[in-house]
Amino acid sequence: MHNKPSFRTQKIELAIKRTTAEYLVKHKEFLEEFPSLRIEITEVKVSKDLRFGKVFLIHNIAEDDFQKFKRKYTRKIQQLIAQTLTSKYIPKITLFVDETFKKSLEVQKLLDKL
């Protein structure tokens, strides 16, 4: 068997990524609470049954501030995705910090020291 995601899954992942990015660009009310926040979406993964989605982000704020951001804005992003997608199931999204990016920065710092 192959582990390649289906075309439909890829299409849903792209739509979620686009919708999440659209929310972060157009609805900037979170900047009042987190004025220095900069977020980049690195990846979106959706389960095979299309019921759950993970949005991986890179951010520049403290971890406790990110948890506050997550609690406050995940539902709003979820609602926008529900309005945008036209499928039987709307994936329930969860925001995660992309650890692979942090690890690559650590490796780059080690290489810079050489």
1-5, 47-51, 72-76, 94-98 — which is least confidently predicted? 1-5
CATH number where 20 lies = 3.30.300.20
In a domain, 100, yes or no: yes
In a domain, 2, yes or no: no
In a domain, 1, yes or no: no
Domain count of the fold of the chain? 1
Q: Has residue 69 got a pLDDT over 60?
A: yes
pLDDT > 70 fraction of the chain, expressed in percent and rounded: 97
In a domain, 22, yes or no: yes
Q: pLDDT-based confidence at 2, cuts 50/70/90?
A: low
In a domain, 14, yes or no: yes
In a domain, 40, yes or no: yes
DSSP string, 12-69: HHHHHHHHHHHHHHH--THHHHSTT--EEEEEEEE-TTSSEEEEEEEE-S-HHHHHHH
Rounded to whole angstroms, the Cα distance separating 76 from 62 reads 21
Domain extent at residue 105: 7-113
